[in-house]
């Protein structure tokens, strides 16, 4: 393995983790990391003071540019856009070694979409990856003060969105199991007790599969879930559920007559389910299937 490749491979997990959190898409993140590698091949490693810092800088700037282009495409997206789910059986995700990693939860990634690309980069680099603002300033090519302001603005906007992850892995798994059991068995009273009054359900079909879109309120969400599972029964659809570690927390994959159709993730706070994310876009589920 040559020096270029060796230095890059030592930083690959960090780069993939950063790019995925920036873009919310594994495919787009992999493209950014590959472009970073191609640029790295054009320089002489011995002339670079800190290869890892160079790679993070290039990756961050490429991700900012890619996010700007992706935003234009997402404005034309059919229905509700959700990040691609990340399936990881080891309970670990790129770039962060935490048992439950809220920095890749669908709730946070979904909320990050409201940030400008530079705000998102400053927030992730400082608050998630632990870079000092002086380092963030060098990476983004801005002043220290400007980066502090970007991160502060990002935190302010995120505080108006979903609260950060507030359940242990065991509690999260218990609620996922209870939620799916109540849906399957038609136990609507039990289901209502698991959901917060302000529950939201976000379903992404991408125009390629039926999905809920964006539903709000306990009554609306319970009625929708009851109809879905009643339809499964009426049509004789065999539904199999597999629990998996998805985006940093316990989640589930649903198979209809043996075909993967849905990835379910829950956002939990104060012991109740505040958001249900249902990814049904076949193109995004293909990433999980692989």
pLDDT digits (tens, 9 = 90+) for 21-53: 999 998 899 999 999 999 999 998 788 889 999
The residue with greater pLDDT, 70 or 224, is 224
For tokens 């594994």, the residue is 26
- CB of 87 within 8 A of CB of 244? yes
Confidence of residue 101 (pLDDT cuts 50, 70, 90): low
| Backbone torsions φ then ψ of 243, nearest 5 degrees | -85, 135
- Name residues whose C-beta falls within 8 Å of residue 7's C-beta, 6 or more positions apart in sequence: 40, 45, 51, 52, 55
For the sheet containing 249-256, what is the strand order? 214-216, 195-204, 272-279, 259-269, 249-256, 239-246
Q: Which CA distances in Å does 195 have to 13, 29, 217, 222, 271?
A: 36, 33, 9, 9, 9
The domain locations on the chain are 3-159, 169-289
Q: Does the structure show a pLDDT above 90 at 8? A: yes
CA angle 49, 51, 52 (to 5 degrees): 125
Confidence of residue 256 (pLDDT cuts 50, 70, 90): very high
Pairing of strands 259-269, 239-246: unpaired
Architecture of domain 169-289: Roll (3.10)
Mean pLDDT taken over the chain: 89
pLDDT at 96: 43
pLDDT at 102: 67
- The percentage of residues in the chain with a pLDDT greater than 90, rounded to a whole number, is 66
For tokens 């570690």, the residue is 245
Which CATH class, in words, describes the domain spanning 3-159?
A: mainly alpha
- CB of 126 within 8 A of CB of 147? yes
pLDDT in tens, 133-172: 999 999 999 999 999 999 999 999 887 554 444 667 788 8
Average pLDDT over residues 269-282: 93
pLDDT at 198: 93
pLDDT at 47: 86
The residue with greater pLDDT, 282 or 99, is 282
Q: Does the structure show a pLDDT above 60 at 100? A: no
Q: What pTM value is reported for the model?
A: 0.85
């Amino acid at each position: 393995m040559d020096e270029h490749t060796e230095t890059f491979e030592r930083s690959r997990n960090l780069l993939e983790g950063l790019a995925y959190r920036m873009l919310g898409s594994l495919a787009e993140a992999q493209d950014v990391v590959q472009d970073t590698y191609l640029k790295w091949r054009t320089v002489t490693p011995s002339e670079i003071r800190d290869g890892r810092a160079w790679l993070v800088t290039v990756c961050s700037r490429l991700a900012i540019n890619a996010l700007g282009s992706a935003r234009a495409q997402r404005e034309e997206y059919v229905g509700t856009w959700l990040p691609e789910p990340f399936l990881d059986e080891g309970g670990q995700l790129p770039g962060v070694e935490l048992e439950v990693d809220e920095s890749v939860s669908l709730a946070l990634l979904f909320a990050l979409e409201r940030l400008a690309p530079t705000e998102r980069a400053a927030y992730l680099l400082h608050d998630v990856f632990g870079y000092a603002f002086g380092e963030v300033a060098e990476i983004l090519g801005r002043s220290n003060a400007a980066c502090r302001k970007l991160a502060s603005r990002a935190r302010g906007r995120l505080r108006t969105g979903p609260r950060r992850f507030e359940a242990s892995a065991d509690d999260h798994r218990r609620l996922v199991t209870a939620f799916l059991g109540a849906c399957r068995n038609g136990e609507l009273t039990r289901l209502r007790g698991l959901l917060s009054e302000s529950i939201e359900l976000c379903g992404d079909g991408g125009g390629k599969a039926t999905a809920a879109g964006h539903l709000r309120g306990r009554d609306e969400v319970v009625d929708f879930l009851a109809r879905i599972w009643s339809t499964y029964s009426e049509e004789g659809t065999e539904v199999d559920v597999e629990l998996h570690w998805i985006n940093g927390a316990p989640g589930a994959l649903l198979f209809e007559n043996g075909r993967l159709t849905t990835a379910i993730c829950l956002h939990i706070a104060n012991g109740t389910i505040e958001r249900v994310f249902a990814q049904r876009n076949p193109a995004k589920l293909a990433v999980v299937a692989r």
